[in-house]
Amino acid sequence: MKNKVTLYFAFLLIVVSAFSFAGCSKLVGPSDQDVINAINETGMFKGGFGELTLQSPITILEKGNRAKDGSWPVKVKVVFTAYVSKDKVSAPLERTLVFNMHKIKDNAGKTAWKASAQGS
């Protein structure tokens, strides 16, 4: 009986280790660099008249656990400015935003991360 328990435990340990070493995509969230790249690709901070301009690097504050819809919530701190009028730029605004990170396939068929602002 004791040998069977040890055998089952060893088998379970091997299976769990295989998933973690393989980097099972359903269990692994986005890296910090993936989050920053995905937020930059949203175009939210592209700048110009009527748009927001990022003033300092994006700071990742907290990564949440995977949600039921498959997204990974990530809380970030950003500092940005906006055009108040054609020639006048606002003072830097610091905000904490939450983005949902989703895995997608890009045009080349590679897996990539896409960020969407929570609530949009």
50 and 85 both lie in a single domain: yes
19 and 38 both lie in a single domain: no
Distance of alpha carbon 71 from alpha carbon 49, whole angstroms: 32
15 and 51 both lie in a single domain: no
Q: How far is CA 4 from CA 7, 9, 11, 12, in A?
A: 5, 8, 10, 12
- Domain containing residue 22: 1-27
Does residue 65 register a pLDDT over 80?
yes
15 and 63 both lie in a single domain: no
CA angle 118, 111, 116 (to 5 degrees): 10
Does residue 24 register a pLDDT over 70?
no
Q: What percentage of the chain exceeds 70 in pLDDT?
A: 86
65 and 92 both lie in a single domain: yes
CB under 8 Å to 13, separation ≥6 — which residues? Answer: none
pLDDT band at 86 (very low <50, low <70, confident <90, very high): confident
53 and 106 both lie in a single domain: yes
pLDDT band at 4 (very low <50, low <70, confident <90, very high): confident
pLDDT at 18: 64
12 and 56 both lie in a single domain: no
Number of domains, the chain = 2
pLDDT band at 52 (very low <50, low <70, confident <90, very high): confident
Does residue 98 register a pLDDT over 90?
yes
13 and 42 both lie in a single domain: no
98 and 51 both lie in a single domain: yes
77 and 91 both lie in a single domain: yes
Q: How far is CA 63 from CA 19, 26, 54, 80, 104, in A?
A: 21, 15, 21, 21, 19
Distance of alpha carbon 102 from alpha carbon 118, whole angstroms: 12
5 and 57 both lie in a single domain: no
